């Protein structure tokens, strides 16, 4: 419990006294500082992708190195989220938040100054660790600052936090394209330094410490190690399998190890009970389980889908990175407009109904694009992007609020870390699942007999089509053969996209039904 909220503070509308000015100031500053931090950390997940070709040329980096520049951040970020949130409950959420911001800021400077790919990969891994420490504690800081306040006040603060992060994620390609084209790629990281310093100053001066004496000092070290190893192994296996194939030894080995480590972690946490890093009894709260499940699903529908949509926009339609960012901006605008609507609806309807409505909009968006064909341009996915943004606007402000709002105050950091851990895991699962769908469609559609090319060339064609490199795929051929191969490749890719949209839409309807069953008003912490 924070110093600023140690006394029971209630809103006038609840029949009590208004919060003192220092408490209101602490709440405002906590929301502002954590929201800015979340926006910066989330932006760094997506902003780098569009700069990969330029980075590869400047640093003479191989394809594997470029993939690790992206994945090093994702893997360290995903592996440490749960542990960072749990440890912050015990030694201080502000302390971990400040340490994470400092680590991220220093690592950003190292990225900007990196002389080679190896240094950049290492710095990106450190960046991810700092990002995990920040995002694993931000929600708990907000929950602590708003303890004793009406639930709608905390929901509003978390709504601003999640909306900022979501918009940053969607703006990543646009910002990355603009900086890469008009400045240079090191500026993608250099701009984090002054922002990080600003966050540090604001947090030190204005954000109160938040720690619960009931769990202070007790750290489940074995659980922390198992959680880091399990999350790293699962995310590594899913991401590497989607990029390089599922038969590789490192993919099958890490996925198997991840499964074993997850089971070991679950058994240890069950044995430790309330002394565990992640108390398994939290999942007995249906609303908490529902919030975690929907957080997982939300990333499958967004970041899990984004790489394949981006490859279509850039590789097949030939849009520049900046124009791709402009197209994806439609989703961000819809999210910003829908978020306050979702907040108002929650005052009139049960939150579970609002969540279900958001998922239905996501499903409608997916189904609207299932007829996409090789002759379509970017406007064919515009309704989908708008509906996806609207659905996210209705759901995102409530998901993380539910996760921290229905657990004991002492477990707010753990709940925040757990819910956030399912975001990158959802991304990895989405990329892996949809990658399998894409590969199977391409393999079945582009056979040697259909293509009319030597069987020895087909494997290379499949690899380039799934990577969205249509020009490179068609380069060895001329005249009618080139047109024939290219047309078939375009058809195979858009057919695969239609199947991906259909699967995602069906899953969104299942998520809508799950929200109605799992999210319950009576689970509120109060």
What is the chain's length?
526
Reported as a single tens digit per residue, the pLDDT across 391-425 is 988 887 777 777 777 766 666 666 777 777 777 77
Mean pLDDT, residues 306-329 = 82
Mean pLDDT, residues 454-468 = 74
In a domain, 349, yes or no: yes
Q: How far is CA 286 from CA 47, 130, 191, in A?
A: 35, 31, 41
Give the 3-state DSSP-derived string for 331-399, with helices as H, strands as E and coil as C: HHHHHHHHHHHHHHHHHHCCHHHHHHHHHHHHHHHHHHCCCCCCCCCHHHHHHHHHHHHHHHHHHHHHH
Give the pLDDT of residue 11.
45
Q: Are residues 97 and 193 in the same domain?
A: yes
Q: Are residues 158 and 296 in the same domain?
A: no
In a domain, 6, yes or no: no
Mean pLDDT, residues 38-51 = 79
Q: Last residue of some domain: 218, 249, 267?
A: 218
Q: Are residues 323 and 425 in the same domain?
A: yes
Give the pLDDT of residue 215.
52
Smallest CA-to-CA distance from 387 within 367, 415, 408 is with 367
In a domain, 2, yes or no: no
Reported as a single tens digit per residue, the pLDDT across 298-316 is 878 777 787 788 888 888 8
What's the CA gap between 323 and 325, in Å, rounded? 5
N-terminal to C-terminal alpha carbon distance within the chain: 15
DSSP reduced 3-state for 149: coil
High-pLDDT (> 70) share of the chain, %: 88
Q: Are residues 110 and 259 in the same domain?
A: no
Give the pLDDT of residue 13.
40
Reported as a single tens digit per residue, the pLDDT across 427-451 is 778 877 888 888 888 888 877 777 7
Confidence of residue 71 (pLDDT cuts 50, 70, 90): confident
Sign of CA dihedral 458, 460, 466, 468: negative
Q: Are residues 347 and 480 in the same domain?
A: yes
Listed range (47-51, 99-103, 313-317, 483-487) with the worst mean pLDDT? 47-51
In a domain, 4, yes or no: no
pLDDT(279) > 90: no
Give the pLDDT of residue 361.
94
Q: Are residues 299 and 189 in the same domain?
A: no
Q: Are residues 301 and 252 in the same domain?
A: no
In a domain, 3, yes or no: no
pLDDT(268) > 50: yes
The residue ranking higher by pLDDT, 387 or 286, is 387
Give the pLDDT of residue 195.
92
What's the CA gap between 297 and 430, in Å, rounded? 9
Mean pLDDT, residues 72-76 = 83
CATH of the domain at 324: 1.20.1250.20
DSSP string, 284-327: GSHHHHHHHHHHHHHHHHTTTTHHHHHHIIIIIS---HHHHHHH
What's the CA gap between 27 and 15, in Å, rounded? 20
Reported as a single tens digit per residue, the pLDDT across 133-163 is 998 888 778 877 777 677 677 777 877 787 7
Q: How far is CA 433 from CA 53, 71, 260, 497, in A?
A: 26, 17, 21, 12
Q: Last residue of some domain: 276, 303, 319?
A: 276
What's the CA gap between 349 and 346, in Å, rounded? 5
Mean pLDDT, residues 255-273 = 85
Listed range (7-11, 174-178, 310-314, 325-329) with the worst mean pLDDT? 7-11
Q: Last residue of some domain: 176, 195, 218?
A: 218
The residue ranking higher by pLDDT, 46 or 394, is 394
Asked if 362 and 301 count as a contact pair (C-beta separation under 8 A), the reply is yes
Mean pLDDT, residues 352-370 = 92
Mean pLDDT, residues 369-377 = 88
What's the CA gap between 525 and 404, in Å, rounded? 9
Q: Please enumerate in sequence order all residues whose Cβ is within 8 A of that of 437, keeping only pairs 6 or more positions apart, or say none.
A: 496, 499, 500, 503
Listed range (5-19, 99-113, 184-198) with the worst mean pLDDT? 5-19
What's the CA gap between 459 and 446, in Å, rounded? 10
Burial code (b: 16+ CB inside 10 Å, e: under 16) for 378-407 equals bebbeebbbbbbbbbbbbbbbbbbbbbbbb
Confidence of residue 16 (pLDDT cuts 50, 70, 90): very low
Smallest CA-to-CA distance from 310 within 289, 331, 279, 294 is with 331
What's the CA gap between 333 and 481, in Å, rounded? 43
Mean pLDDT, residues 267-278 = 75
Number of domains in the chain: 3
In a domain, 7, yes or no: no
Give the pLDDT of residue 107.
95
What's the CA gap between 419 and 160, in Å, rounded? 17
What's the CA gap between 175 and 322, in Å, rounded? 8
pLDDT(462) > 50: yes
Confidence of residue 1 (pLDDT cuts 50, 70, 90): very low
Chain position carrying tokens 């090093």: 72
Q: Are residues 104 and 55 in the same domain?
A: yes
Listed range (172-186, 408-422, 478-492) with the worst mean pLDDT? 408-422
Give the pLDDT of residue 127.
93
Q: What are phi and psi of 270, to 5 degrees?
A: -65, -40
In a domain, 335, yes or no: yes
Give the pLDDT of residue 108.
94
Average pLDDT, the chain: 80
Mean pLDDT, residues 77-99 = 82
Residue 155's domain comprises 13-218
Max mean pLDDT range (98-107, 111-120, 216-225): 98-107
Give the pLDDT of residue 4.
38
In a domain, 509, yes or no: yes
Q: Are residues 134 and 164 in the same domain?
A: yes
pLDDT(15) > 60: no
Give the pLDDT of residue 290.
82
The residue ranking higher by pLDDT, 168 or 105, is 105
Confidence of residue 214 (pLDDT cuts 50, 70, 90): low
């Amino acid at each position: 419990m924070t110093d600023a909220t140690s006394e029971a503070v209630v809103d006038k509308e609840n029949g009590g006294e208004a919060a003192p000015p220092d408490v209101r100031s602490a709440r405002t500053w906590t929301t502002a500082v954590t929201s800015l931090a979340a926006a910066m950390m989330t932006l760094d997940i997506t902003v780098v992708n569009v700069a990969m070709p330029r980075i590869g040329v400047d640093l003479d980096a191989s394809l594997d190195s470029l993939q690790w520049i992206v994945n090093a951040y994702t893997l360290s970020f995903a592996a440490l989220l749960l542990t960072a949130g749990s440890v912050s409950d015990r030694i201080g959420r502000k302390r971990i938040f400040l340490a994470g911001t400092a680590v991220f800021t220093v690592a950003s400077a190292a990225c900007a100054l990196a002389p080679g790919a190896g240094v950049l990969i290492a710095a990106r891994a450190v960046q991810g660790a700092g990002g995990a420490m920040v995002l694993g504690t931000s929600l708990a800081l907000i929950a602590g600052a708003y303890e004793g306040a009406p639930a709608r006040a905390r929901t509003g603060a978390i709504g601003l936090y999640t909306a900022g992060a979501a918009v940053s994620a969607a703006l990543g390609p646009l910002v990355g394209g603009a900086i890469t084209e008009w400045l240079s790629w090191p500026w993608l990281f250099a701009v984090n330094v002054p922002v990080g310093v600003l966050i540090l100053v604001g947090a030190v001066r204005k954000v109160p410490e938040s720690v619960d004496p009931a769990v202070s000092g007790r750290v489940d070290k074995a659980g922390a190690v198992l959680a880091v190893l399990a999350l790293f192994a699962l995310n590594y296996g899913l991401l590497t399998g989607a990029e390089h194939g599922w038969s590789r030894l490192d993919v099958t080995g890490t996925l198997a190890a991840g499964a074993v480590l997850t089971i070991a972690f679950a058994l240890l946490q069950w044995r430790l009970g309330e002394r565990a890093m992640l108390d398994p009894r939290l999942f007995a709260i249906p609303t908490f389980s529902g919030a975690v499940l929907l957080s997982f699903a939300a990333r499958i529908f967004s970041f899990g889908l984004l790489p394949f949509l981006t490859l279509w926009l850039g590789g097949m339609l030939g849009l520049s990175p900046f124009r791709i960012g402009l197209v994806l901006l439609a989703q961000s605008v819809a999210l910003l407009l829908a978020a306050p609507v979702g907040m108002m609806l929650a005052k009139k309807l049960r939150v579970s109904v609002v969540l279900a409505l958001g998922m239905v909009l996501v499903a409608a968006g997916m189904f609207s694009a299932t007829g996409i064909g090789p002759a379509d341009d970017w406007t064919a996915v515009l309704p989908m992007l708008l509906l996806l943004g609207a659905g996210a606007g209705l759901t995102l402000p409530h998901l993380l609020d539910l996760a921290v709002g229905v657990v004991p105050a002492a477990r707010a950091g753990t709940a925040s870390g757990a819910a956030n851990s399912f975001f990158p895991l959802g991304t990895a699962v989405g990329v892996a699942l949809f990658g399998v769908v894409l590969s199977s469609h391409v393999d079945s559609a582009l056979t040697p007999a259909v293509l009319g090319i030597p069987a020895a060339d087909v494997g290379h064609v499949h690899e380039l089509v799934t990577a969205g490199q249509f020009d490179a795929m068609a380069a060895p051929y001329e005249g009618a053969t080139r047109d024939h191969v290219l047309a078939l490749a375009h058809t195979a890719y858009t057919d695969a996209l239609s199947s991906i949209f259909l699967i995602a839409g069906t899953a969104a309807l299942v998520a809508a039904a799950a929200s109605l069953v799992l999210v319950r008003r009576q689970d509120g912490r109060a």
